[in-house]
Structure 1
Amino acid sequence: MNLKNSIIVPILGRYADRFHEYQPARTFFDNLQVAAAIPGIEGIEVVYPQDFADPEQTVKAIQAAGLPVSAVNVNVKGEAKFRAGSFTNPDPQIRSQAVQYIKTAMDLAAQLGTDMITCCPLIDGHDYNFQVDYQKQWAWFVEGIREAALYRSDIKVSLEYKPYEVRNNIILGDMGRTLHLCNQVGLPNVGVTMDVGHALGARENPAAMACMAHDAGRLFYVHFNDNDRAWDWDMLPGSVNLWDLVETIYYLDRMNWSGWLTYDVYSRHGDPAEAFAVTFRIMETAKEIVEKLGRNEIQALIEEGVPARAFDYLFKKLFK
């Protein structure tokens, strides 16, 4: 199972909600030092433009840290100019700026030795009926992603879907719409980042969605975390939906999918670095569970299709 562990660097820093601040602010360079010391880390995901206030200094610091970059994450939601949308903003100049963010990130990705940028267009969508023109929004989105992806065919554009937040309804709300977009763009370097927590929030089965994207040749990148399917809490993998975690690992292994598993896990309690070290150990244990259960045995249970017998086997094998 050739799967590599990566973390999103800014997650090590400030974390706050409407009521409390749980983690203090740190500079990117401080976060990078903390990341490099986490046991089991194999790579990092960095965020453009937030981590690149001084691009030359950032690139040098990343190279000095000695950690491969799994992807450059493009943030097109947080700045005031994107309040009405990024790729679907009614202002064509703002849409053009969002596309340029992708292009700049692609150049940075190449400079940092990765072939992947990822982007979650959380600000694109709508909150109310009759708020936006759905046809225009979709056309603008397809046009923008196509223009960005054509800029460099050697860099993959991996689009991360999510059903809600920041918008009540995000334009890429589930796997089906994201694969439809990939088909409409029609370029081989456009694919999907499947965030397990986002799939859970969309009432999807993560393992089934991984299979669907892989079958389409579009499963580029995977984020792991967990939640209660009601909100994107970014919890430790398997802490709520253990069987979904084991099943997803089983199918990634069965499909011989090789790539980065990047962890989107926030910590209200304790040290974020420790939480990521624990996350890596959880994932190793999940892989060991698949080994213990047996790939052939799991496949035989799936083919038999009798859940009572399947879970009788699974529980006895693990807990007796």
Structure 2
Amino acid sequence: MGIRNSILLGTLGRYSDRFHTYQPNRSLEERLQISEGIAGAHGVEPVYPQDLGHSGEHVGLVADCKLPVSAVNVNIKGEDMFCRGALTSPDEAVRAKALDYIRTGMDMAAELGSEMISVCPLIDGWDHPFEVNYLEQWDWIVEAMSAAASHRDDIRISIEYKPFEVRNRITLGTMPRTLLLCEEVGAPNLGVTMDTGHALIANESPAAELCLAHHKNRLFYVHFNDNDRQWDWDTLPGAVNVWETLETLYYMRRLDWSGWAAYDVFTRKGDPAEALTATFEIMDLFEALIDKVGMDDLGAMIAKGEPGPAFLTLMRAIAR
């Protein structure tokens, strides 16, 4: 079947940084219509509760979309009650509310015919030494994910890790820490989203982390974008790290991985639909380059362990 491309509906709407706000505040209906018209899109990822509504009042709009739902993105970081943490909040009532969001998101995913939710617990962590109790935080997040995974076994929970932002240090900030959590919980429906941009700013090699998650049967979702390894730019895949992007796609093929890929690609002044159309074409060109060199030849290059001839082979393929 190959990789299926999903559109994060948030990339088509309004967003802000510390200084400015970008893009019009497009309605859910508008963003769904735009998604349907983007060549190369196979699915969409709505956000609970911001898109779907706390009580699911907008589930019908998403269900009527011509594109299926890859996952429901459960947002447990954006509301005021989560400012001191969600799954690791010192307030037990807030931790319970965050868990309730995840369970509700799982139910809505099932209603929409999806098999997965995505959750990125960016507010769970710390900013300074002696600010939090690390022992309690870890116990709380293990307890929460255990309870979430047991809510229903027909929906997978994919954790999107990130080293920093919103917190200076995030509890689930790297692939190994996230896999450790999954192994401690032990539930087969708990896994990891390997976001290339987040792996890069964690000073990881995206392809290596992809393989590690696959080795533990925890690779549920892949996100593509790019940055300079210092900050999460969310720019076009391959705009900076060409070889890392190509290597990630090579290993996705080598692992015969055919799940969903989504794209955290944000544009400030341009047309976000054009940016996503360009993104999908870029990914097709990367795939074409792999075809041009050949999986066997790439594998032979890796077996030799000599980077010079490997890059020369790739450059010759690009130049031809």
> TM class by shorter-chain length?
over 0.9
Q: 1:9 to 1:82 in 2, by over 3 A?
A: same
**What's the counterpart of residue 50 of structure 2?**
50
Structure 1 window deviating more from structure 2 (221-230 vs 12-21): it is 12-21
Q: 1:283 to 1:55 in 2, by over 3 A?
A: farther
What SS does structure 1 have at the residue aligned with 2:64? helix
Separation in 1, partners of 2:27, 2:113:
23
**What's the counterpart of residue 154 of structure 1?**
154
Runs of 4+ in 1 over 6 A off after TM superposition: none
Separation in 2, partners of 1:217, 1:84:
32
- Count of aligned pairs: 320
Separation in 1, partners of 2:59, 2:94:
27
Separation in 2, partners of 1:91, 1:200:
33
What SS does structure 2 have at the residue aligned with 1:26? coil
Residue pairs, 1:117-266, within 5 angstroms: 117-266=117-266
- Contact kept, 8 Å, 1:160 with 1:194, in 2: the verdict is yes
| Percent of pairs with identical residues | 53
- Contact kept, 8 Å, 1:38 with 1:276, in 2: the verdict is yes
Which ranges in structure 2 are unaligned for 5 or more consecutive residues? none
What SS does structure 2 have at the residue aligned with 1:40? coil
**What's the counterpart of residue 76 of structure 1?**
76
Separation in 2, partners of 1:124, 1:118:
15
- Contact kept, 8 Å, 1:207 with 1:248, in 2: the verdict is yes
Separation in 1, partners of 2:67, 2:48:
17
**What's the counterpart of residue 274 of structure 2?**
274
| TM-fit CA distance, 1:57 | 4.4
| TM-fit CA distance, 1:56 | 4.9
> TM-score, length-normalised on structure 2?
0.98
- Contact kept, 8 Å, 1:75 with 1:119, in 2: the verdict is yes
Separation in 1, partners of 2:316, 2:296:
17
**What's the counterpart of residue 97 of structure 1?**
97
**What's the counterpart of residue 87 of structure 2?**
87
**Are residues 1:113 and 2:92 paired?**
no
- Contact kept, 8 Å, 2:289 with 2:317, in 1: the verdict is no
- Contact kept, 8 Å, 1:123 with 1:167, in 2: the verdict is yes
What SS does structure 1 have at the residue aligned with 2:106? helix
> Aligned AA for 1:164?
F
What SS does structure 1 have at the residue aligned with 2:59? helix
| TM-fit CA distance, 1:269 | 2.9
